[in-house]
Amino acid sequence: MLDCHILHIDYGVSYGSVTLKSLQNDNVPELDLLVREAIQNSSDASLQEPGDWFRVNFNTGIFCPAALNSYITGLQSVLDRRFPGKEASFMEIRDIKTSGLTGCIRKSEIADDDHGNFFKLIYDTGKRQTQQDAGGNWGFGKSVYYRVGVGIVIFYSRIKTESGYDSRLIVTVVEDESSPDALLRSLDNRSAGKAWWGIRDGEDLLPLTDKDSEFIKAVLDVFKLKPFKEDETGTSIIIPYIDPVGLLGDIIPDEAEIRDDIKQSFKKTWGDRLEDYLTLAIQKWYCPKIHNRNLKKFCDKKWLSVSVNNNPIRKEDMIPFFDLVQELYTTAISKTYGFEYVSEQFPGISSYPVNIRGYLEGSTSGYVSVIKISRDDLGSAMALSPYDYIGKFEADGGLNEPVVMYTRDPGMVIEYAVTGAWVKNISPPESDNEFLFAFYMPDTKKKIRDNLSVPEYAGETLGEYLRACEASDHMSWVDPAKMQIVDRIQKNTVNCIIKQQTADKKVQIEATASKLSGKLGRMLLPRAGYASGSRGGGSDGGSGGGVKLKDVSFEILSRSFNESNLILDFCLKLSHAKKDVDVSVIVDSEGGRIDSAAWQTDIGTLFPATIAGLTIHSAGSKATESPVMVDAACTPDNPAIVNEYLRVELGQAVGSSQYTSFKVKSSILNIELRGTLTIHARDKKYNFSFRVV
């Protein structure tokens, strides 16, 4: 039987109810918080260990309640009544190639402010992390372990000592002492909501150690878990009496603005089994480090080997969006070490320095990597929108909102920002098939200037400052009142992204104009058998290119761009006895040129371009003394122009609501029309041209 120590209500005591609320987050699923905290603790514990990687395994399973309850002295009867069945669910999180729960185990051994890993995790509440480059800071994150189940957590660890290796196992309870279901009330009505089970030795309650190895093995056997072996060091956190259905019920908020079909698809894929959602959550928050072996090429950051029920999540197993996030992160962090990483998977990634003035020794605070990418380029394995995978369900189905991510050295994504200061004034992509993603990585080694008027931060590294700017849930950065470093980083990150958008648009306009000019020089294909005489080809020297057929001349006089609209000034001439002509927008594809009718039949989606407007400025011929100024416009709301000289009408493919062609019917011979055609490009990745018949 284990000995028990219950924390009593007393002056200045830390209550269980306060600890459970200390994480400062009730709007993120518990499983996400658990994944974030557990891997961050493992990452911190790996820092002083040799090697390029560390390993974490999330294990789920069932156990016999009666077998466990017999070890928890005093609570056995109440637990037997509450869990009378033969089976209950548990979760274990185990890491290796980490230091384990090192440090003192007796109060008398505490010599300074650093109480050691064991004391801080098991007994301390809110004791700050002192290790350099660590992710943790506040000491409250561990409260999530107690929130996931009924408050019982078993900590088992193996550490390296001067004489070899040693094990440590202790059972803990943290609960809301005011709850009518509080377990410890049945033991002691003075409970403050915290208790521990181990070996009593005077005033200390000690963990089981190697001399109690048979006892440790018996406790692990309850869960069919194996002890650490040989030279392994690490920590196992066992949480019994979890409720998988309840935990999975939190992954999509009831009030989430999400289509029913997407909700059902998400739940079917990720919400039916605990191990499935853990696999998603691990990628969501730690994709920057999962099997990221590129890190060792330029820094000492360790990559993460992670698995669920011993099934590894490898880089090639990741959802394509999270693979992209890793490439964005690697591109940005490599720059902070003076290296240039170029992604082979996503060559469209670019990076920019984010400069701030007045605070740092050197103006560069870090780097932001940016990419605009189509849904198709993300890969066929993207069954859902990126917004669904990151839990931003409200962003799915509307404009493709830009997403900005950021992190510190531990490599955990702190936030996927789709609103707020990180994305303020960044325009969504013009095509609803494109996304804009960016990742900011600070140069955490940079020092804050020592001549600031705020001396408490002088000389501190940027990494330490940003760590202190995180709340206990590590899900945002917020400046203290006297500083504005985060505020300036946010603003200048946004400025970098906007500049990149502007530069991309200019390049895209020039490239599109060049392609279109070439296409217009080879377009205007007549229908088979029409105008059997010879026809000219190539450019006739006009500024935008053109083609002369036997009875039709179509010339682009100028072109310009306005966001997603291509604006063409043209001259259309009909010669001899020809009085009518059809002009259709077509798409150039690998399979040939496709008009809207064929697109609708063969592909079934919206045609990538539509005529937004057509204005005729003048009409003239040899039959008129001078051109007639018309200045009449066709629009989707008013698709026809009719006067004594001509009829111009926008046309639709059968069964389509899009205007993708226009017809001109002239009442005079040899008519020459000058006008402006506006094409709205729904998707810029296609090249557009025209067919004239």
**Structural domain contains residue 111:** yes
Average the pLDDT over 402-421 and give the result.
94
Whether residues 482 and 344 share a domain: the answer is yes
Q: Given a cut of 90, is residue 433 above it in pLDDT?
A: no
Q: Cα separation of 291 and 294, whole Å?
A: 9
**499, 519, 539 - which closes a domain:** 519
- What pLDDT sits at residue 115? 66
Place of tokens 């962090």: 333
What's the pLDDT score for residue 292? 97
Residue 367 pairs with which residues in a beta bridge? 353, 441
The closest alpha carbon to 147, from 19, 275, 250, 40, belongs to 19
Same domain as 546, residue 688: yes
Same structural domain for residues 235 and 250? no
The one-letter code for the residue type at 528 is A
Residue that has been written with the tokens 């499935």 in this structure: 276
For 456-459, the CB contacts below 8 A with 24+ separation are 457/483
At 153, the amino acid letter reads V
Query: How much is the pLDDT for 625?
Result: 61
How buried is residue 180: exposed, middle or buried, by Cβ count under 10 Å (0-12/13-18/19+)? exposed
H or E stretch covering 690: strand 687-692
pLDDT higher at 631 or 52: 52
Query: DSSP label at 430?
Result: S
Average pLDDT of the segment spanning 460-482:
88
Three-state SS for 653? coil
Burial status of residue 175 (CB atoms within 10 A of its CB: 0-12, 13-18, 19 or more): buried
Mapping DSSP to helix (H, G, I), strand (E, B) and coil, where does residue 205 land? strand
CA dist., res. 128 & res. 76, Å (int) = 34
Based on the fold, state whether residues 222 and 346 are members of the same structural domain. no
Q: Return the pLDDT at 254.
A: 73
Most confident of 3-17, 168-182, 641-655: 168-182
Query: Which whole-number Å values give the CA distances from 107 to 148, 202, 203, in the listed order?
Result: 29, 11, 9
* CB burial readout 182-208, b (16+ within 10 A) else e: bbbbebeeebbbbbbbbbeeeeebbbb
Host H or E run for residue 115: none
- Asked whether residue 296 is assigned to any structural domain, the reply reads no
What letters, b where the CB count within 10 A reaches 16 and e where it falls short, cover 383-408? eebbbbbbbbbbbbeeebbbbbbbbb
pLDDT, tens only, 501-528: 876 655 554 444 444 444 443 333 333 2
Token digits of residue 198 = 């181990």
d(CA 121, CA 130): 13
Q: Is 94 in contact with 236 (CB distance < 8 Å)?
A: yes
| Statement to judge: residues 473 and 589 lie in one domain | no
Domain count, the chain: 4
Tokens representing 290 are 């999962």
Determine the structural domain holding residue 265 and report its residue range.
Answer: 244-278
- Across 147-151, 177-181, 383-387, 628-632, least confident range: 628-632
- Asked whether residue 283 is assigned to any structural domain, the reply reads no
Give start and end residues of each alpha helix (H) in 251-381.
260-270, 274-286, 320-336, 375-378
Domain match, 316 and 270 both:
no
Distance, CA of 641 to CA of 637 (rounded, Å): 12
Q: What is the mean pLDDT of the chain?
A: 86
Q: Output DSSP code: residue 404.
A: E
Q: What is the pLDDT of residues 135-153, one digit of tens each?
A: 444 456 788 999 999 999 9
Taking 60 as the threshold, does the pLDDT of residue 662 lie above it? Answer: yes
Find the helix or strand (DSSP H, E) in which 596 lies: helix 596-602
Residue 303 within a domain: no
- Whether 93 and 139 map to the same domain: the answer is yes
Asked whether residue 72 is domain-assigned, the answer is yes
Query: How far is 641 from 614, CA to CA, in rounded Å?
Result: 10
Over 50: is that where the pLDDT of 531 sits? no
In-domain check, residue 43 = yes
- Domain end point (choices 482, 499, 519): 519
Residue 289 burial (10 A CB sphere; 0-12, 13-18, 19+):
buried
Asked if residue 299 belongs to a domain, the reply is: no
Q: Largest alpha-carbon pair distance within the chain?
A: 116
Helix segments in 426-564, DSSP class H? 462-468, 485-520
Same domain, 213 and 254: no
465 vs 21, 24, 134, 148, 654, CA distance in Å?
25, 20, 12, 31, 63
User: What does the radius of gyration of the chain's CA atoms come to, in whole angstroms?
Assistant: 33
Eight-class DSSP state of 102: -
273 and 319 co-located in one domain: no
Q: CA nearest 286: which of 119, 453, 405?
A: 405
**260 in the same domain as 322:** no
Are 480 and 564 members of one domain?
Answer: no
Taking the model in full, what pTM does it have? 0.73
Phi, psi torsion values for 648, nearest 5 degrees: -120, 130
Q: Where are the alpha helices (DSSP H) in 63-115?
A: 65-69, 76-82
In the listed set 242, 265, 292, which residue is the last one of a domain according to the structure?
A: 242
| Domain shared by 326 and 258, yes or no | no
Bridge-partner residues for 236, per DSSP?
Answer: 94, 156
Helix boundaries (H) for 127-168: 143-148
Would you say residue 619 has pLDDT above 90? no
Please write the tens of the pLDDT for every residue from 680-691. 877 666 677 888
Is the residue at 306 inside a domain?
A: no
Give the pLDDT confidence score for residue 592 in this predicted structure.
Answer: 64
> How do 434-442 and 191-201 pair as beta strands?
unpaired
Q: What are 102's two structure tokens?
A: 């090192």
